[in-house]
């Protein structure tokens, strides 16, 4: 099972190419192709969510042109864990894969509903793996190693190739006290380092942070104090995949005699999947439905909600403007945002916090108390991995270029005293890194980029302009123009629907009815939502799309313009 890797490749051994298709130069889209001869394997298939400057785009996935060019040769897709930035593109990648999908059981369980939603079945099979399992795919022998992260069931992959051993860490931190007691397999990392590692691909996300990242248990004390001091409901917003965080909160709720409600579609779905796979344990009688929240005294309820990034349609945003069906806040309640702000989301999160402040609610973030710890290793942990593995070549992955560059410098410092200092290969998406008799180097550029996905399935494109052109060509464009008084939140005049390339037999009546419907919807919104341009734009877009789909069956591109007067 654990045969020693040769220190040098055998004479005439075929070359091995590494091609990052995402995750080098950005956060998200993590995906790495490794090719040798007629066999390619892919590690992870991540997605990322669009910024507000991509209207109508619901998801971004990597460009798969490289995999298409190797049609019939992609023999395995390997998942390291179940976060969206590693599994979000699986439904789009799997049709290009002729061999099995391998991954830890939790990651595969989280992928399953995605495949069902897209109608993707995989004949070659879906194979769960556990740490220290070994599988063979063509010239590759792949071993799975336990690592710790912000969710359970995460692995690194050690890939034996004709050129030597390639070690890919996946996402990790070194948590010495993980909640599930599944420790980071440091001994195996050290063994592999002693055998000889050709190339190390290592997570760079937190390279800018000095010291060590805290354990998932480190939030317990802060939350225990919040449970003690909160007189009303405790509403905690976190990522629905942060299952360790959810377990800590559920255990505290049970000890403080609070009922737990999962609020938000992904929170509800992921909690059910995690229960089914044995990664989330719920004491009997603790969980209640979201519709039952109002039936219990406020001091007896904990709500676990989606929306920690300020997403307009998420549960926390609806709760913040008193627009949620089942949860209404009062000034005794307390809201905790237990997540880091993903770069670019600060404005949206601030907007939600302003709405919560208007409710008179106390809002707690990680800057106030230690209610969040990262899932990624800080600088000292990255140094430790480099010291244990002592690779011949080092390739920083997972991060923007400045993180990759910082990680490269750390690698040079850590290995400076070794007999053979590491060779750093700085790569970006699409670079072809070749290992052969001449060593490791950058040799070529493969097609790489982003494909923008519209969940209505109207467009699937690799460029914003192309996506919009196709969308407009198919169904036209509608621009609802709404003017709202900045102070009072009142609608100023009747909304106007401007259309291009959207023609029906009764245009005028349709547009008039649409404007009237839009007026009614806006008037029914609370004043806070009407005076929040971000929320208002999302509401206008949703309502206009719904109205036009119902009346015409068509799905034009809707670009709302909300003017504050």
User: pLDDT band for position 90 (50/70/90)?
Assistant: very high
Report whether pLDDT(112) > 90.
yes
C-alpha span between 52 and 58 (Å, rounded): 10
Q: Are residues 414 and 432 in the same domain?
A: yes
Query: Are residues 200 and 126 both part of a single domain?
Result: yes
- Dihedral of the alpha carbons of 124, 126, 131, 133, in degrees to the nearest 10: -30
Q: Please check whether residue 9 lies inside any domain of the structure.
A: no
Pick from 346, 364, 382: which residue ends a domain? 364
CA distance 431 to 438: 18
CA atoms within 13 A on the CB side of 510: 18
By C-alpha distance, which of 267, 277, 273, 212 is closest to 245? Answer: 267
What are the structure tokens assigned to 367, written together?
A: 């800057």
What pLDDT score was predicted for residue 557?
84
Query: To the nearest whole number, what is the mean pLDDT of the chain?
Result: 91
Same structural domain for residues 359 and 220? yes
Beta bridge partners of 62: 450
Query: Residue 384 has what pLDDT?
Result: 97
Q: What is the pLDDT of residue 171?
A: 98
Residues 6+ apart with CB under 8 A from 194: none
pLDDT (tens digit per residue) in 223-280: 999 999 999 999 999 999 999 999 999 999 999 999 999 999 999 999 999 999 999 9
Q: Which domain holds residue 123?
A: 16-211+374-452
- Using CA atoms, how far apart are residues 293 and 327, in angstroms rounded to an integer? 7
Give the domain-ending residue among 364, 388, 418. Answer: 364
Tokens of 442: 């950058």
244 shares a domain with 207: no
314: CATH = 3.40.50.10710
Q: Which of 44, 63, 153, 203 is catalytic?
A: 203
Highest mean pLDDT among 5-19, 361-375, 486-500, 508-522: 361-375
Task: Give the confidence band of 7 by pLDDT, cuts at 50, 70, 90.
Answer: very low
Q: Tell whether 144 and 207 lie within a shared domain.
A: yes
56 and 193 share a domain?
yes
203 is catalytic: yes
Q: Is the per-residue pLDDT at 134 higher than 60?
A: yes
Band (pLDDT 50/70/90 cuts) for residue 181 is very high
553: alpha, beta or left? (left if phi > 0; alpha if psi -120 to 50): left
The verdict on 324 and 384 lying in the same domain is: no
- Return the pLDDT at 563: 85
Instruction: Say how many C-beta atoms besides its own lie within 10 A of residue 473's C-beta.
Output: 10
Task: Using the 3D structure, point to which of 320, 337, 364 is the last residue of a domain.
Answer: 364
Element spanning 161, H or E = strand 154-161
Query: Is 6's pLDDT higher than 50?
Result: no
pLDDT score of 214: 95
What's the pLDDT at 8? 57
Joined together, the tokens standing for residue 312 give 């307009």
Cα-based distances in Å from 214 to 175, 240, 378, 420, 525: 7, 20, 9, 32, 42
Co-location of 301 and 224 in the same domain: yes
The reply to whether 190 falls in a domain is yes
Ordered strands of the 334-337 beta sheet:
287-288, 259-263, 301-305, 234-237, 334-337, 362-364
* Per-residue pLDDT tens digits for 503-537: 654 578 888 888 999 999 998 888 888 888 888 88
Task: Say which residue, 341 or 203, is predicted with more confidence.
Answer: 203
- pLDDT > 70 fraction of the chain, expressed in percent and rounded: 93
Q: Rounded mean pLDDT of 332-358?
A: 92
Looking at the domain assignment, is residue 517 inside a domain?
A: yes
Largest Cα separation within the chain, whole Å, is 80
Q: Tell me the pLDDT tens digit for each residue of 52-72.
A: 666 667 889 999 999 999 999
Residue 468 lies in a domain: no
Rounded Cα gap, residues 17 and 41, in angstroms:
11
Q: What is the pLDDT of residues 354-392, one digit of tens each?
A: 999 999 999 999 999 999 999 999 999 999 999 999 999
The CATH number of the domain where 99 resides is what?
A: 3.60.15.10
10 within domain boundaries: no
- The confidence score (pLDDT) of residue 156 equals 98
Question: According to the model, what pLDDT value does residue 462 have?
Answer: 47
Q: Which helix (H) or strand (E) holds 260?
A: strand 259-263
Q: Which residue has the higher pLDDT, 15 or 55?
A: 15
Is the same domain home to 221 and 192? no
Q: pLDDT value at position 381?
A: 98
| pLDDT value of residue 10 | 62
What phi and psi values does residue 202 have, to the nearest 5 degrees? -130, 140
- 434 and 509 inside one domain: no
Instruction: Specify if 499 maps to a domain.
Output: yes
DSSP 346: H
Q: Which entry of 376, 398, 407, 471 is annotated as an active-site residue?
A: 376
How many folded domains does the chain comprise?
A: 3
Q: Compute the 3-state secondary structure of the chain and give helix, strand, coil in percent, each to the nearest 5.
A: 35, 25, 45
Mean pLDDT of 407-414: 96
Structure tokens at 280: 């989330």
Structure tokens at 293: 């929240």
Residue 51, pLDDT > 80, answer no
What is residue 361's three-state secondary structure?
coil
Q: Is 220 in the same domain as 206?
A: no
pTM of the model: 0.82
CA distance 304 to 315: 10
Confidence category of residue 466, pLDDT binned at 50, 70, 90: low
Per-residue pLDDT tens over the stretch 269-310: 999 999 999 999 999 999 999 999 999 999 999 999 999 999
Quickly count: other Cβ atoms within 10 Å of residue 457's Cβ: 9
Residue 125: Cβ-neighbour burial (10 angstroms; 0-12, 13-18, 19+): exposed
Domain check: are 540 and 506 in the same one? yes
pLDDT at 457 over 50: no
Alpha-helical regions (H) of 173-299: 186-195, 220-229, 243-255, 265-276
35 in a structural domain: yes
How many Cα atoms are found within 13 Å in the side-chain-facing hemisphere of 161? 27
Instruction: Name the residue among 78, 45, 70, 69 with its Cα closest to residue 59.
Output: 45
Task: Return the higher-pLDDT residue of 443 and 51.
Answer: 443
Other CB atoms within 10 Å distance of the CB of residue 381: 22
In the chain, what is the straight-line distance between the N-terminal and C-terminal CA atoms, in Å? Answer: 70
Question: Which of the four pLDDT bands, split at 50, 70 and 90, describes residue 459?
Answer: very low
Residue 241 falls within a domain, yes or no?
A: yes
Alpha-carbon gap, residue 270 to 433, rounded angstroms: 37
Nearest by Cα to 397 from 370, 376, 418:
376
Q: At what angle do helices 243-255 and 220-229 cross, to 10 degrees?
A: 40
Q: What is the CATH number for 522?
A: 3.10.20.580
d(CA 269, CA 187): 36
Question: How far apart are alpha carbons 415 and 383 in whole angstroms?
Answer: 9
């Amino acid at each position: 099972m654990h045969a020693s890797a040769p220190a040098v490749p055998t004479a005439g051994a075929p070359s091995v190419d590494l091609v990052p298709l995402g995750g080098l130069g950005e956060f998200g889209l993590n995906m790495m192709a490794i090719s040798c001869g007629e066999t390619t394997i892919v590690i992870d298939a991540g997605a990322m969510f669009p910024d507000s400057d991509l209207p109508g785009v619901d998801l971004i996935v990597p460009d798969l042109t490289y995999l298409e060019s190797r049609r019939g040769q992609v023999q395995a897709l390997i998942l390291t864990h179940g976060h969206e930035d590693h599994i979000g593109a699986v439904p789009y990648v799997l049709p290009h894969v002729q061999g099995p999908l391998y991954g830890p059981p939790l990651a595969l369980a989280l992928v399953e509903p995605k495949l069902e939603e897209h109608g993707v079945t995989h004949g070659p099979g879906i194979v769960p793996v556990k740490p220290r399992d070994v599988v063979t795919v063509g010239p590759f022998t792949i071993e799975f190693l336990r690592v710790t992260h912000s969710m359970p069931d995460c692995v690194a992959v050690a890939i034996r190739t004709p050129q030597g051993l390639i070690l890919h860490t996946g996402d990790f931190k070194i948590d010495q006290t993980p909640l599930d007691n599944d420790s980071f397999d440091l001994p195996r990392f050290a063994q592999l380092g002693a055998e000889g590692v050709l190339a190390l691909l290592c997570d760079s996300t937190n390279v800018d942070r000095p010291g060590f990242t805290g354990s998932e248990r480190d939030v317990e004390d802060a939350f225990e104090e919040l449970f003690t001091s909160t007189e009303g409901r405790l509403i905690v917003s976190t990522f629905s995949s942060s299952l360790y965080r959810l377990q800590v909160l559920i255990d505290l709720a049970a000890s403080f005699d609070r009922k737990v409600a999962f609020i938000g579609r992904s929170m509800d779905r992921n909690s059910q999947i995690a229960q089914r796979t044995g990664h989330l344990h719920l004491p009997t009688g603790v969980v209640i439905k979201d519709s039952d929240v109002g039936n219990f005294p406020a001091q007896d309820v904990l709500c676990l909600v989606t929306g920690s990034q300020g997403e307009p349609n998420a549960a926390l945003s609806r709760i913040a403007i008193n627009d949620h069906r089942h949860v209404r806040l009062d000034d005794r309640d307390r809201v905790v945002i237990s997540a880091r702000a993903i770069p670019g989301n600060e404005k949206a999160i601030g907007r939600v916090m302003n709405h919560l402040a208007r409710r008179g609610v106390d809002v707690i973030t990680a800057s106030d108390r230690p209610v969040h710890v990262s899932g990624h290793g800080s600088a000292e942990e990255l140094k430790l991995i480099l010291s244990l593995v002592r690779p011949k070549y080092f390739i920083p992955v997972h991060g923007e270029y400045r993180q990759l560059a910082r990680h490269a410098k750390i690698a040079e410092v850590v290995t400076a005293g070794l007999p053979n200092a590491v060779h750093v290969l700085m790569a970006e998406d699409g670079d072809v890194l070749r290992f052969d008799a001449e060593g490791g180097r950058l040799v070529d550029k493969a097609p790489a980029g982003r494909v923008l996905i519209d969940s209505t399935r109207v467009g699937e494109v690799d460029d914003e302009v192309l996506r919009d052109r196709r969308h407009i060509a198919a169904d036209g464009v509608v621009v609802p123009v709404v003017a709202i008084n900045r102070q009072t939140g009142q609608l100023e005049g009747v909304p106007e629907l401007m259309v291009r390339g959207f023609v029906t037999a009764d245009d005028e009546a349709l547009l008039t009815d649409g404007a009237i419907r839009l007026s009614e919807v806006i008037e029914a919104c609370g004043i806070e939502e009407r005076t929040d341009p971000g929320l208002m734009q999302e509401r206008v877009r949703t309502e206009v799309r719904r109205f036009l789909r119902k009346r015409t069956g068509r799905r034009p591109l809707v670009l709302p313009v909300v003017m504050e007067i």
